[in-house]
Amino acid sequence: MGAGLRDAQPALMLFGVCRVGVESDAGTPHIGVMSQSNTVMRRAWVEIDLGALVQNGAMLRERAGVPLLPMVKADAYGLGAVRVSRALEGLDPWGFGIATIAEGEELREAGIERPILCFTPLLLDDLDAARRSRLTPTLGDAKTIERWSRSGLPWHLAIDTGMSRAGIPWNEVGALSDVLLRTTPPEGAFTHFHSAERDDDSREQQERRFAKALSSLPVKPTFVHAENSAAVEYRGPSKWSFARPGVFLYGVETGGALRVKQVATLRARVVDLRTVPDGDTVSYDGTYRAVGDRRVATLAIGYADGYRRSLGNRGTVLVNGKRAPVAGVVTMDMTMIDVTDVPCEVGDVATLIGRDGDESIDVSEVAAAAELSPYELLTGLRGRLPRRYLSGDDA
């Protein structure tokens, strides 16, 4: 086992073993947490560096010069919405962004009191549930606006300036004037950039459309927002009320001026080690054939955990600080790697995303090898992977 992981082992032992999808945290009991005397993580797990998460948020807040509305939808991009939101409270965010009512309910039940904006359009039948959880919907059609306005609760107007996904088209906002004058006016208005990281005119075009849409509103909203992580990075100081960072918070660079801190680490145990003779194959379809005798290790992680099948014969894993290629197709529960030139024993910890010694594999590298976006990779980390949270002091 590499020196870095070997040194960390006593600390890891404090965290116990979780059953499927149950978080672990030193000193905090959780339903489903197994005996602390058991090995820390028997199979595979995700480590989330909350200190790095907060540092990423602080960098974006400083660059934007306005408060943040962190996007914690999809269980905070697969890293745990409740723990992530609590960690980000220290940055005094304006609120939090989610996509479903269930996500908002989870945050409320966990004691989050800040505004929670739901960015996916709600059906009429969903409005009562949103009201009960004090969620702020983002609305874009007259019928839903009229129904929600009966509650007297805040809402934000969704304006489509080119994404063509949700919200009222920018050139039709004026048609809502009568509705907005006889109902509760929107607390906020927003749009979403489709290509903020591109060096073209798309963002400027969307901003021009947004400005025209805002000028056609009969009442000016208190809050106006548009920027995602990439827009903040590429633009710098914001001209809006708050910024809505997402993937940068979770350790993925968008190509801008800031250097992100890695947040998520994916690790798995070596559970089998064998010599594969010259000419023999590894995994389904025999896509890997040994040239000479090869030493092959099996990791207790597969595509059911979110380590994608497409990484077969493409991915790279760290074992004891050295890179080892994925050998053959990634299977549902196990992944084989070629460790012929790497010191390796059963029980060793392999790093599929993260750092081991002087070597590091980030989310973007793995996503590129799998022909995925980093968003897909992070949100695809499955619920049966236990989570181990590191505070800033632990990191």
What is the percentage of the chain residues whose pLDDT exceeds 70? 89
Q: How far apart are CA 275 and CA 295, in angstroms?
A: 5
CATH no. of 3-40+263-390: 2.40.37.10
Q: What pLDDT shows up at residue 13?
A: 31
Per-residue pLDDT averaged across 75-92, rounded? Answer: 98
Using DSSP, how many helices (H) and how many strands (E) does the chain show? 12, 19
Q: Spell out the domain ranges in the chain.
A: 3-40+263-390, 49-250
pLDDT digits (tens, 9 = 90+) for 96-113: 999 999 999 999 999 999
State the catalytic residue, choosing from 143, 220, 239, 284: 284
Count of CA atoms in the C-beta half-sphere (13 A) of 333: 4
- 290 Cβ contact list (under 8 Å, min separation 6): 276, 277, 278, 279, 280, 281, 282
Query: What confidence tier does 392 reach under pLDDT thresholds 50, 70, 90?
Result: low
Show the tokens assigned to 304. Answer: 């059911």
Predicted local distance difference test score (pLDDT) of residue 14 = 29
Judge whether 111 and 83 are in contact, CB under 8 Å. Answer: no
Q: Name the pTM for this structure.
A: 0.88
Computed over every residue of the chain, the mean pLDDT equals 90
Catalytic, 73? Answer yes
With the CA atoms of 197, 199, 203 and 204 taken in that order, what torsion angle do they form, in degrees rounded to the nearest 10? Answer: 150
pLDDT in tens, 291-332: 999 999 999 999 999 999 999 999 999 999 999 999 999 999
C-alpha span between 316 and 268 (Å, rounded): 13
pLDDT tens-digit series, residues 109-154: 999 999 999 999 999 999 999 999 999 999 999 999 999 999 999 9
Which H helix or E strand runs over 181? helix 177-182
Among candidate residues 73, 250, 303, 389, the one labeled active-site is 73
Spell out the residues 6+ positions from residue 112 whose beta carbon is closer than 8 angstroms to its own.
82, 85, 86, 96
pLDDT digits (tens, 9 = 90+) for 341-378: 999 999 999 999 999 999 999 999 999 999 999 999 99
Q: What token pair was written down for 203?
A: 């963002």
Stretch 231-249: mean pLDDT, rounded?
94
pLDDT digits (tens, 9 = 90+) for 42-69: 899 999 999 999 999 999 999 999 999 9
Instruction: Indicate if 220 belongs to the active site.
Output: no
Its CATH class, for the domain covering 49-250, is alpha beta
